[in-house]
Amino acid sequence: MLNGLDALLKPRSIAIIGASDTEGRAGHIVVKNLLTAGFRGPIMPVTPKYDAVCGVLAYASIDKLPRVPDLAVLCTNSHRNPDLISELGKLGVKAAIVMASGMHLGEPSHLDLMKENARKYGIRLIGPNSMGLILPWLNVNASFAPIPAKRGNIAFVSQSAAVCTTILDWASNKDIGFSTFLSIGDGSDVDFDELLDVLCRDSKTSAILLYIDSVSDPRRFMSAARAASRNRQILVLKNGRTTQGAIASQLHTGGPLGIDPVYDAAIRRAGMLRVHTTHELFAAVETLTHSVPLRGERLAIVTNGGGPAIMAVDALMERGGKLAKLSDATIEKLNKVLPTSWSTTNPIDIMGDANVKRYTETLNILLDSDDFDALMIMHSPSAIAPSTQTADAVIETLKHHPRTKRFNILTNWAGEVSAIESRKRFFQAGYPTYRTPESTVAGFMHLVEYRRNQKQLMETPSSINEERALAPQALGMIENALLQGQTQLQTHDVRPILECYGLRTLRTWLASDPSEAVYIAEQIGYPVAVKLRSPDIVHKSEVQGVVLQLRDAKEVASASQAILDRVALNFPAAHIDGLLVQSMASKTGSQELRLGVYRDAVFGPVIVIGEGGSEWNLNKDAAIAIPPVNMALARYLVINAIKSGKIRQRSFPYEINIPALCKILVRISNLIIDCPHILELDINPLLISGEDHTVIDARITLQDGQFKHNNHLAIRPYPKEWEKDITLRNGETLLLRPILPEDEPLHKDFISHVSEEDLYKRFFSDVGELDHEALANLTQIDYAREMAFVAVTKSNQIWGVARALSDPENTEAEFAILVRSDLKGFGLGRILMEQIIEYCRSRGMKHMTGMTMPSNSGMIALAQKVGFHIDVQLADGIVEMLLPLSVSNS
């Protein structure tokens, strides 16, 4: 198992260090919970105070243990734990759970000392500040939880012990079970990323719930989350939505202080679903665990009460949902079974006097149609249609209708005493059920938001064919500014950098004094704007440092001198570089936007966009995306900004041209990828009108330092450095480069030129025609974990592909090579093999492995030529290939 976590997640023997026979102590509760759970392996309490704990023979010290336990649970004071970890390491223990809090104290801290000792002996740590671990399928309850966990298919991982007990209490009441229940506490060693890698492969786990205070390694977290969310449903409850809450979260875990909207963007980008309260988490679990994949977003509502249905519609619209429209055919059928006074639209109000028969007839008609994707069935207390009787009839109708499984069904049975039994029956029948219209809509929108995030994860982007030829020139300007000690670049300096990336800027001239400002204004023509240029005054509004619409020399001179006077009065020590003079941009028909780059403490650079203006609150005014951003991701960012009101479509001659704005965002993304010294970028305002745009003002904040392999980004971008031209034996020149998400149609065409026999040798099965999801998995890769090189012709055809998928520890890579069946014999296979070997070596991997069939003689011969060890296993019909990368191979 990954990184030696088998000792933690599949323990065969457990020692409890600091065990106690005093009730209420953690060391007593853990032993008792292990016994109650029925753990079948040795339970070994360690304490010098008692001969036995809970009737189990105790050992006075670690060195007295009769065998090496797989897992040790430390229920001891924080100051003792560093030495205890050393003792466990000398004994050979490979995993430990640390329950103590307050280990950040001391200099060096107890936590640092413990981690150092753990690294020395190769011990994997959970905690400190952990509640423990529960593995119901293995009868393990190594925790001090007051409530046991039942067996189920949900994995729960939390940084908060208190949230753990809340979840356990709720799950017990709902009869929901878990595959794994783990409190990682401060996550000082084993963290979310490694656990996601393990749990997404666990056959007992169908959904994963995370409670997050903070993320310590954003790149590893994003890589693991993006990989896991392709295979499992992942829900995230993240606290710290407010500034004060984030500070409290930081104090709780010691993690970095990130802003909440960036976490939102990261969770969406990884294809997960975020919820904001424990109540929402419970509702989302109930919805997702009882749902089928959502076909679309149209919701139909059946109700016997108009008021509750209106509440549902309001909630749906407020959350950006979509109300289904009934077809004429469906309305005609409903007219035959419903009173003439029914609503004749959606919501389908079958009236307060509806009986059980009316419910079932309505449902049968709706289920026969294709007017909706999800159906919300509501019931208000009624003497004519008793709660339980109606629920039973609905359940039977749904059970026997052949098309029920095409739709997501949600039920809202209102009431307390009268509806409790009904809701229980719906839950037992596998239909999510809720007390209120609003919570039912929230459950439906969880499905919608999860579908949107998954779609975003798999959507094929279009390309804008960015050459980025001037990127080295832009980087040179930035490095030159740093050499001169400049960290604040104003519009005059920023303009040529932005123009390297195709961003049109307003021409700007620098004047040293009012008279030179007048001279420049006379040359460029009126009206003009005059703006202060000072590295010490970032916000020019502090001194009214921007004056617009100056129409003659007198106004320019007066405004220029007034700016300088205000600076002298309010900031006498400020250094003044001069005055910027710009021609006035025409704003007619244009919309002002503000966009740029913000450096988050957790996830690094993020792209932000919103309305123009001087007031700017990232938590409220900006839509945020994590780079790298392509056209598809940029479109999601813009649509999200519009839907959330961060950008409002104005009544201009031209509405915002979304593709044009997306191109700008992609160029900004490329800028911050290529120029890691950019700490912040603020373009305010950006005038946009149709396909045209103009940058009026821009500011860049720089930071000095060494940056390698784009480590400043949470997601590893396209590794352009691996592009190169190659020449085949037939003289054909191809571009060998990493694969791109935009390559999906090219890859589909490539597969169509590979024979069924070659595909079978590559995939060990009959592939058939690959659908969008399969092709997306092949083209939308995480460059931090996987690499695929494609050999592309000048006519944009793929002739061959080489892949390497590394394990999360980056020690081993599994490779595969595929060449078009009609293009063999030109040496492309050898070139692809050498490229993928070079790549794996550069990543520091220890060896490469591959597998093929004995009949694939070409691949076997090629592997032998480049140094692979070949193991032919005729009985199993496979050939295993192994290449150590620590030595040179010819």
What lies within 8 Å, CB to CB, of 216 at 6+ separation is 187, 191, 255, 256
Residues in a beta bridge with 44: 15
Residue 888 pLDDT grade (very low, low, confident, very high; cuts 50, 70, 90):
very low
Angle at Cα 187 formed by Cα 183 and Cα 190, nearest 5°?
Answer: 90
Contact between 703 and 482 (Cβ < 8 Å): no
* Four-CA torsion 804, 807, 810, 815, nearest 10 degrees: -20
Greatest mean pLDDT range, 120-129, 462-471, 525-534, 706-715: 120-129
Which ranges in 656-785 belong to alpha helices (H)? Answer: 658-674, 744-752, 756-763, 772-779
Residue carrying the six token digits 């001169």: 484
d(CA 186, CA 575): 46
pLDDT digits (tens, 9 = 90+) for 645-688: 898 876 554 578 889 999 999 999 999 999 999 999 999 889 88
- Look at the block and give the residue holding tokens 């079958």: 350
What whole-number distance in Å separates Cα of residue 761 and Cα of residue 878? 10
Check residue 173 and give its pLDDT: 81
Helix (H, G, I), strand (E, B) or coil at 767: coil
Residue 743 DSSP class:
G
Please state, in angstroms and rounded to a whole number, the distance separating the CA atoms of residues 304 and 315.
18
The number of CA neighbours under 13 Å toward the Cβ of 464 is 22
Residues 6 and 15: their CA atoms lie apart, in Å, by: 16
Please give the Cα distance from 773 to 788 (Å, whole number). Answer: 17
Cβ neighbours of residue 173 closer than 8 Å, sequence gap 6 or more: none
Answer whether residue 267 shows pLDDT above 90: yes
> What pLDDT is recorded for position 697?
87
pLDDT value at residue 889: 42
Type and span of the H or E element at 419: helix 417-429
Greater model confidence, 291 or 54: 54
Residue 90, pLDDT score: 96
The 3-state DSSP class for residue 29 equals helix
pLDDT of residue 254: 53
Q: What is the pLDDT of residue 349?
A: 95
The C-alpha angle with vertex 154 and arms to 151 and 158, in degrees rounded to 5, equals: 110
SS3 489: strand
| Residue 107 confidence (pLDDT) | 77
**pLDDT at 588 (0 to 100):** 66
Angle between helix 631-643 and helix 658-674 axes, rounded to 10 deg: 120
3-state secondary structure 396-418: HHHHHCCCHHHCEEEEEECCCHH
Between 849 and 491, residue with greater pLDDT: 849
DSSP, collapsed to helix, strand or coil, labels residue 788 as: strand
Q: What is the pLDDT of residues 136-181, one digit of tens each?
A: 999 999 999 999 999 999 999 999 988 898 889 888 887 889 999 9
Asked if residue 740 lies in contact with residue 244, where contact means CB atoms within 8 angstroms, the answer is no
Segments making up each domain of the chain, as ranges: 1-128, 145-271, 290-458, 720-884
| pLDDT tens digits, one per residue of 425-472 | 998 898 999 989 999 999 999 999 988 888 888 777 776 666 677 888
CATH topology of domain 145-271: Rossmann fold (3.40.50)
| Residue 816, helix vs strand vs coil | strand
728, amino acid identity? L
* Separation CA 148–CA 32 (nearest Å): 11
- Average pLDDT for 591-603: 92
Instruction: Give the HSE-up count for residue 371: Cα atoms under 13 Å, Cβ half-sphere.
Output: 22
Which CATH class name applies to 720-884? Answer: alpha beta
> How do residues 243-258 score in pLDDT, each as one tens digit?
555 555 545 455 556 7
- What CA–CA distances, in Å, run from 854 to 153, 767, 859, 867, 880? 39, 19, 10, 18, 10
Q: Which tens digit of pLDDT belongs to each residue from 743-781?
A: 999 999 999 999 988 888 887 777 677 888 889 889 999
CA atoms of 781 and 790, how far apart (whole Å): 13
> Which SS3 state, helix, strand or coil, does residue 875 take?
coil
Q: What's the pLDDT score for residue 680? A: 95
The alpha helices in 205-277, defined as continuous H runs, are 218-228, 243-253, 260-269
Residues 6+ apart with CB under 8 A from 469: none
Per-residue pLDDT band at 1 (split at 50, 70, 90): low
Structure tokens at 33: 């919970």
pLDDT at 464: 64
Q: Assign domain 1-128 one CATH number from 3.30.450.20, 3.90.550.10, 3.40.50.720, 3.30.450.40.
A: 3.40.50.720
β-bridge partners, 725: 735
Residue 3, classed as helix, strand or coil, is: helix
Lowest mean pLDDT among 111-120, 180-189, 275-284, 550-559: 275-284
CA–CA dist 610, 705 (Å, integer)? 30
**What value does the mean pLDDT take over residues 100-115?**
86
| CATH architecture entry for 290-458 | 3-Layer(aba) Sandwich (3.40)
pTM of the complete model: 0.86
HEC profile of 117-140: HHHHHCCEEECCCCCEEEEHHHCE
Q: Is the peptide bond before 854 cis (omega within 30 degrees of 0)?
A: no
* C-beta separation of 366 from 338 below 8 A: no
Average pLDDT (358-384) is 95
pLDDT tens-digit readout, 26-43: 999 999 999 999 999 999
The average pLDDT across 4-10 equals 90
Q: Give how far the C-alpha of residue 829 lies from the chain's centroid of Cα atoms, to the nearest Å.
A: 35
% of the chain beyond a pLDDT of 70: 95
CA separation for the pair 99, 143 (Å, rounded): 9
| pLDDT, tens only, 535-584 | 888 777 788 888 988 999 999 999 999 999 999 988 988 889 899 998 88
Q: In this structure, which amino acid lies at residue 78?
A: S
| Spatial distance between the Cα atoms of 689 and 588, rounded to a whole number of angstroms | 9
Residue 653, sorted as left (phi over 0), alpha (psi -120 to 50) or beta, turns out to be alpha
The 8-class DSSP code of residue 361 comes to H
CA 726 to chain centre: 36
Mean pLDDT of the chain: 90
What the block records as the tokens of 646 is 């961060």
Would 1-128 and 720-884 be classified into the same CATH topology? no
Lowest mean pLDDT among 689-698, 796-805, 875-884: 689-698
Could you say which DSSP state residue 109 is in?
Answer: B
Percent above pLDDT 90 for the chain:
66
| pLDDT of 62 higher than 50 | yes
